[in-house]
């Protein structure tokens, strides 16, 4: 899942750079996988530090080009794309959820308004 997430995030920044006329751009991120919550319970999640832009060739050197802040719509599309890709990965591995499991897999969406927003985008 980390590879799916990292490719989607890197692709997002490279596409934005191409739209700004920057070709051959590179970006990067570092992710730590945390396997527990504050109560030492099992809670696998990622902490990512990502470049907020891209490195572009400037002759023989590289220069950093900062990206403008993402819009809420861009973030929503990125999160929805990551969710779709993760669901496809899980399906390929035989780890799919049925309709009866829909509420169990998305309890957070009932409590957090922004999660309801992202869930509606995927519907």
Residue partners of 115: CB distance under 8 A and separation at least 6: 106, 108, 109
pLDDT at position 40: 84
pLDDT at position 7: 96
**Could you say which of 53, 68, 83 is where a domain stops?**
68
**What is the block-wise mean pLDDT of the chain (123 residues), using blocks of 10 residues?**
94 95 94 89 91 93 95 93 92 77 56 62 61
Residues 3 and 63 in one domain: yes
pLDDT at position 109: 55
Residue 114 has which token pair?
Answer: 């922004």
pLDDT at position 20: 94
pLDDT at position 8: 96
Residues 61 and 75 in one domain: no
**Could you say which of 68, 83, 104 is where a domain stops?**
68
**By residue range, what is the domain housing residue 75?**
70-123
Residues 92 and 118 in one domain: yes
């Amino acid at each position: 899942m980390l590879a799916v997430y990292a490719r989607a995030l890197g692709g997002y920044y490279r596409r934005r750079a191409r739209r700004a006329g920057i070709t051959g751009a590179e970006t990067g991120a570092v992710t730590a996988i945390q396997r527990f919550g504050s109560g030492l319970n099992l809670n696998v999640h990622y902490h990512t530090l990502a470049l907020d832009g891209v490195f572009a060739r400037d002759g023989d050197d590289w220069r950093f080009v900062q990206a403008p802040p993402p819009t809420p719509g861009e973030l929503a599309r990125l999160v929805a794309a990551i969710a779709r890709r993760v669901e496809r990965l899980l399906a390929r591995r035989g780890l799919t959820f049925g309709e009866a499991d829909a509420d169990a897999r998305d309890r957070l969406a009932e409590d957090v308004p922004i999660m309801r927003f992202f869930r509606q985008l995927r519907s």
